[in-house]
Amino acid sequence: MASPLMSLGQDDNRYQKSFQLFLERSSEHQCMQDFIHRQLPEILASIGDGKSHLNVIGVGSGAGTIDLEMLSVLRLKHPAVTVENEVVEPSSQQLHNYRVSVAQKPELDYIKFTWNKMTASEFEEAWKVKKLTKRADFIHMIQMLYYVKDPGATISFFQSLLDKNGKLLIILVSGESGWGRLWRTYRHQLCNTEISQCVTTGDIKSFLDSTGVSYQSYELPSQMDITECFTEGDEKGELLLDFLTEVLDFSKTASPELRAGVLQLLRHPDCSVESDGKVIFNNNLGVIVIDPLC
Ligand SMILES: C[S@@+](CC[C@H](N)C(=O)[O-])C[C@H]1O[C@@H](n2cnc3c(N)ncnc32)[C@H](O)[C@@H]1O
């Protein structure tokens, strides 16, 4: 049954505000940075097959904070190469922020940035229309597969672009996180049927296993302070609730039963731990690294 609730993604301004607050209240970027500095160097060392130029594609890059961190690790592992970095990002605000950040870093002059203000499927369509044959050495999609209609098809397309030794990196919430539990319980009420939205790395692994694709996976422990969600009328709590449910103005538009059920589940031990008066939600992430097609 189609949900009558509006998706948060329909209001980019509120989406970006709630995402920013989520970053402030969670260890999301910190745990990604730990991964980038501990595990990613070895992964990136294996790409490129000795080439002097590497092609990178970032899909759903946001303001580029994590992308630039990964590019710095790529530089350490391949100090002499030049890089073309295709950025695929539909939000003009985020793309602007990314461009401003790059403009402030002259040391990135070995990278040619190509800015694609578009969705992953628009990029795929444009690639096919232009019949491009260029191949990529490193493609990443970090916390973005929720926003495509068919994550499996999106993965298959981008995997088909990988060059020999290339890698496709996916980060999403882990199936074992509070998000996984929330979505398994309320998928039909909360999730938009037009896009995948409630997808976790557990779902992606099942898809990859069913298609025989080889991959490596990692779990990244992460937390999110959701205490404000339990103070009725709290502006920040409402923004966080929108982000958690992906519903625009969740507190005002959900039925009282749904709202009460979601709030109860969010502080349930399956999703959160309570300590020192704070409710700490399990925001664990999963990383999947996919090899090229044989
Ligand atoms: C949760 S944010 C993640 C941003 C960044 N990767 C990070 O981890 O900080 C999701 C990003 O995906 C972008 N996005 C939304 N729908 C998309 C689509 N269909 N294709 C590509 N990117 C999309 C959003 O604009 C947003 O910047």
Each residue's pLDDT tens digit, 201-229: 999 999 999 999 999 999 999 999 999 99
pLDDT number for residue 2? 47
Answer yes or no: is 3 within a domain.
Answer: no
Question: pLDDT tens across 136-166, in order?
Answer: 999 999 999 999 999 999 999 999 999 999 9
- Residue whose CA is at the smallest distance from ligand 1 atom 24: 60
Supply the range of the domain harboring residue 149.
8-290
d(CA 64, CA 87): 9
> 219 has which bridge partners?
286
d(CA 60, CA 139): 11
Q: Quick check: helix, strand or coil at residue 136?
A: strand
d(CA 136, CA 157): 12
**pTM of the predicted protein model:** 0.94
- Residue whose CA is at the smallest distance from ligand 1 atom 26: 62
Answer yes or no: is 232 within a domain.
Answer: yes
User: Ligand 1: residues whose CB is within 6 Å?
Assistant: 19, 59-62, 65-66, 88-91, 94, 119-120, 142-144, 147-148
6, with CB counted inside 10 A (0-12, 13-18, 19+), is middle
Residue whose C-alpha is closest to residue 170's, from 97, 162, 102, 126: 162
d(CA 150, CA 195): 7
Residue whose C-alpha is closest to residue 135's, from 294, 263, 292: 292
Location of structure tokens 């444009």: 126
pLDDT number for residue 292? 95
Element (H, E) at 190: helix 178-190
Answer yes or no: is 166 within a domain.
Answer: yes
- Residue whose CA is at the smallest distance from ligand 1 atom 10: 144
Answer yes or no: is 2 within a domain.
Answer: no
d(CA 251, CA 238): 6
Q: Which is the closest atom of ligand 1 to the Cα of 119?
A: 20
Instruction: Tell me how far the alpha carbon of residue 246 lies from the centroid of ligand 1, in angstroms.
Output: 13
Location of structure tokens 């298609």: 211
Signed CA dihedral, 101, 106, 107, 110: sign only: positive
Q: For residue 260, how many other CB atoms are within 10 A of its CB?
A: 11
Give the CATH number for residue 124.
Answer: 3.40.50.150
Helix ranges (H only) for 26-119 are 28-38, 40-45, 65-77, 92-103
> Which of 65, 67, 144, 157 is the pocket-test mutation for ligand 1 (most atoms within 8 Å of CB)?
144
Report whether pLDDT(3) > 80: no
Q: For residue 225, how many other CB atoms are within 10 A of its CB?
A: 17
- Tell me the two tokens of residue 22: 């989520």
The answer to whether 42 touches 36, Cβ cutoff 8 Å, is no
Instruction: Tell me how far the alpha carbon of residue 115 lies from the centroid of ligand 1, in angstroms.
Output: 14
d(CA 25, CA 242): 14
> Which of 147, 169, 243 is the pocket-test mutation for ligand 1 (most atoms within 8 Å of CB)?
147
What's the whole-number mean pLDDT along residues 116-131? 97
Answer yes or no: is 1 within a domain.
Answer: no
Instruction: Tell me how far the alpha carbon of residue 212 lies from the centroid of ligand 1, in angstroms.
Output: 27
Task: Give the largest Cα separation in the chain, rounded.
Answer: 59
pLDDT number for residue 206? 97
Number of structural domains the chain divides into: 1
Instruction: Tell me how far the alpha carbon of residue 284 lies from the centroid of ligand 1, in angstroms.
Output: 18
Instruction: Tell me how far the alpha carbon of residue 89 lies from the centroid of ligand 1, in angstroms.
Output: 6
Instruction: Tell me how far the alpha carbon of residue 274 lies from the centroid of ligand 1, in angstroms.
Output: 30
Instruction: Tell me how far the alpha carbon of residue 14 lies from the centroid of ligand 1, in angstroms.
Output: 14
Answer yes or no: is 210 within a domain.
Answer: yes
Q: Which is the closest atom of ligand 1 to the Cα of 91?
A: 25
Question: pLDDT tens across 240-258, in order?
Answer: 999 999 999 999 999 999 9
